[in-house]
Amino acid sequence: MPSLIVTDTKGATRTVDSAAGFSVMEAIRTAGFDDLLALCGGCCSCATCHVIVDTADFAKVGPAGPDEEDLLDGSDERTPTSRLSCQIPFTAALDGLRVTLAKEG
Amino acid sequence: MLIVGAGHAGAQAAASLRQLGFAGSIGLMGEEPELPYERPPLSKDYLAGDRAFDSMLLRPVPYWASKEIILLLSRRAVAVDAVRRQVETAEGARFSYGSLIWAAGGHARRLTCSGHHLAGVHTVRTRADTDRMRAEVAAVRHAVVIGGGYIGLEAAATLTKFGKPVTIVEMQGRVLARVAGEDLSRFYEAEHRAHGVEILLNCAVDCIEEAAGRACGVRLADGHVLPADMVVVGIGIVPAVEPLRAAGAAGANGVDVDEFCRTSLPDIYAIGDCAAHVNRYAAGARIRLESVQNAADQAAIAAKSITGAPVAYEAVPWFWSNQYDLKLQTIGISIGHDATVLRGDPASRSFSVVYLRQSKVIALDCVNAARDYVQGKALVIGGTEVDVALLAKISVPLKSVPARLQA
C-alpha cells in the first residue's frame, strides 16, 4: 500500500497507509486526523481539506483544477503548493507523498 | 459528558472536546445503529449507488475507542431530568451527565394524510431510509417526490439517473421557495424539466392511494391521481427536542440557545439542526440552520465553552447542493432580502444570484461559479454596502467590487 506522510497543525508527523482508490483526503481522514474537517465529504464544495504539499512532491501531484483553485483562493493559508486533498487521487505513484494540514479551511 | 445525537454535530462535538484536551468521560448516544456518518450523500451519490457507506464514516472505526469516546448507538433519548442530570432512553436506561450536549437534529417530517405509512412511501434522513429506497428502486415504474426543497430536488435528480419517470409535487408557486430567490427556483425547475422531471407547482396532496398494501398513487387536492409506486416525502424536518422541552428548556421552533450554544437549562447545550440561535447573518433573527457547516461550527463552540475558553458563535453560513452536473454553493442567508442581482446568464449554467438588503450583500447562490462563492464571502461577512450595478457585471470580479462610500 502506498503511504502518505502527514504533518498536522501542531507539527506532529505520522506516516499512514492507504489502499488504492481513495483520495488523499480520505486517506488522511481514515487515519483519524482531527485537524482535517473535510466538511463537504469530498465534492469540492468547501475548502476544509486544504493541505500544503511538500515542494519537492508538488510536480507529482500537479496544480489545482479551476473550482479548486477558486476555493483555495479564499484561504488565508494559501501557499504556492496548496491543494484540496479531496481532489488528489492517492495512487501508487504518490507513495511517500508529504503533506501538511493547513490551519484553517 | 453526554452527547445526545451522533450525526455531524454530535460527532464533531466529541472530537472537538478531545482536541481541546477534555479529559472526562464522553458518551455519544445515537438512535441509529451506524457509526457517525455523513448525511448529505443519502440523497445523492449513496442513493445512486455510487458511494460506499464506509467512505461516508466521519471518523475511522477505531477512532472512537482510541479517543475514549463511548458510543451508545441504537439508543433513543426520551427524557431529560435536568435536576438529577440524567438522560433516559427508550429502553428505560438512565445515563448521568455533568454537561449535556443535545445534538439530536430532527426527524424527517411525515405526511399526516391517509396512506402516509404505506410501504413505498419514503423519507430521506437516515442510512436505513436510503437503503429502503435502494432496495425498491429497480422495480419502480413511477416515482413522485412530494416537496420541492433541496432533499426533494436531489432525490429527483438521482432517481432520473435510474431512468425513472419522476414527478415533483410542490405546494408553493416555485421550488426552493423557502430558501432561495425566484431566479434560482426557475433555473432549477427548467433544469429538472430538461431532464424529464415533471414539476407540479401550487399543488397540494390529498392522500396516498393504496393497492395490495403498498402505495400506488398520489391523489392531489384537485382529485387527480398520479401513479406512484415510490413516493419520496421531502417536506423538512421536525426538530427532535421534545425531551428537552419537557424538561423546561425554552424554545418554540427547536430549542433556544445563546451565542455559546447554552440552552436555558444548566449545563445543557444544544447544537446543530435543532438549535434555535440568533444569527448575525439573518439580521439578528432567531433561526435554526440545517447544515453541515452549522453542525460543525456549533459543535466547536459548545466544546470551547465546556473546556473553559468560550467563544461566541458567528460563523458565516454556507451550504451546497449537487444536482445533475450542477454544483450549487450558498454563502450567507438570503431570507429577508429586498433585492436580488443576477450575475451571469442562467442559460450558460454558470451564474450567481446576489441577495441584498438595503444595498448590502447578505447572501449569494452560486451555480457552477465557485469563484463568486469564494469572493462573495468577503462581501457577506463585511456586510458591505456596494454599488449594485457593478454586481451584475461578470467582467468585474466580486473581490474588485468596491464598497460604496457611506455618506
pLDDT computed for residue B405 by the predictor: 57
DSSP codes, B342-362: EES-GGGT-EEEEEEETTEEE
**Contacts A29 to B, Cβ<8 Å:** 59-60
- State how far residue B317 is from chain A, nearest Cα, in angstroms: 12
In 3D space, the residue among B29, B28, B10 whose CA is nearest the CA of residue B89 turns out to be: B29
The average confidence (pLDDT) of chain A is 94
Residue from the list A22, A40, A70 with its beta carbon closest to the beta carbon of B371: A70
Gap from B266 CA to chain A (nearest CA, Å): 29
Residue A71 pLDDT exceeds 70: yes
The verdict on B19 touching A (C-beta cutoff 8 Å) is: yes
Mind listing the pLDDT tens digit for each residue in B122-176? 999 999 999 999 999 999 999 999 999 999 999 999 999 999 999 999 999 999 9
Nearest to A50 by CA among A19, A69, A72, A34: A72
Q: Is some CB atom of chain A closer than 8 A to the CB atom of B329?
A: yes
Q: Nearest C-alpha of chain B: how many angstroms from A34? A: 7
> Which residue of A lies nearest to B44 if distances are taken between CA atoms?
A43
pTM of the model: 0.95
Angle at B148 between CA B144 and CA B152, to 5 degrees: 60
What are the tens digits of pLDDT across the range B381-395? Answer: 998 889 889 999 999
Nearest-by-Cβ selection for A31 from B60, B296, B327 = B60
Work out the minimum CA distance from B60 to partner chain A, whole angstroms.
5
Name the band, by pLDDT with cuts 50, 70 and 90, for residue A69: very high
Report ipTM for this prediction.
0.92
Across A31-55, average pLDDT: 94
Min Cα separation A88/chain B (Å): 16
B41 touches chain A (CB under 8 A): yes
Q: In whole angstroms, how far apart are CA B285 and each of A51, B24, B192, B240, B278?
A: 36, 35, 33, 21, 5
A71/B contact by beta carbon, under 8 A: yes
Residue of B nearest to A74 (CA): B374
Give the nearest partner residue to B63 out of A32, A37, A39, using CB atoms.
A32
What is d(CA B117, CA B115) in angstroms, rounded to the nearest whole number?
A: 5
Give the pLDDT confidence score for residue B407 in this predicted structure: 43
Which of A35, A44, A45 to mutate: most B Cβ within 10 Å? A45
CB contact (8 A) between residue A22 and residue B292: no
Does residue A20 have a pLDDT over 90?
Answer: no
- pLDDT, one tens digit per residue, over B237-285 is 999 999 999 999 999 999 999 999 999 999 999 999 999 999 999 999 9
Residue A94 pLDDT class (50, 70, 90 cuts): very high
Distance CA B203, CA B386 (A): 39
Three-state SS letters, A35-72:
CCCCCCCCCCCCCCCEEEECHHHHHHHCCCCHHHHHHH
Per DSSP, helices labelled H in B196-291 are 242-246
Using 50 as the pLDDT threshold, list the residues of chain B that sit under it: 407
Please indicate whether, in this complex, the C-beta atoms of A40 and B292 are within 8 angstroms of each other: yes
Cβ A34–B19 below 8 Å, yes or no? yes
Closest CA to B102 of B127, B75, B73, B80: B80
- β-strand B94-96 against B86-89: which pairing, if any? antiparallel
Which residues on chain A are in Cβ contact (under 8 Å) with B293?
A: 39, 46
Q: Do A40 and B62 touch (CB under 8 A)?
A: no
CB-nearest to A70 from B55, B292, B374 is: B374
- Chain B environment of A44 (Cβ under 8 Å): 327, 370
- Residues of chain A contacting residue B18, judged by C-beta atoms under 8 Å apart: 34
For residue B98, which phi and psi values (nearest 5 degrees)? -95, -50
Sort out which chain A residues have CB atoms less than 8 A from B371's CB and list them. 70, 73
A45–B322: do the CB atoms touch at under 8 Å?
yes
Tell me what pLDDT residue B327 has: 97
- Please give the pLDDT value at position B42: 98
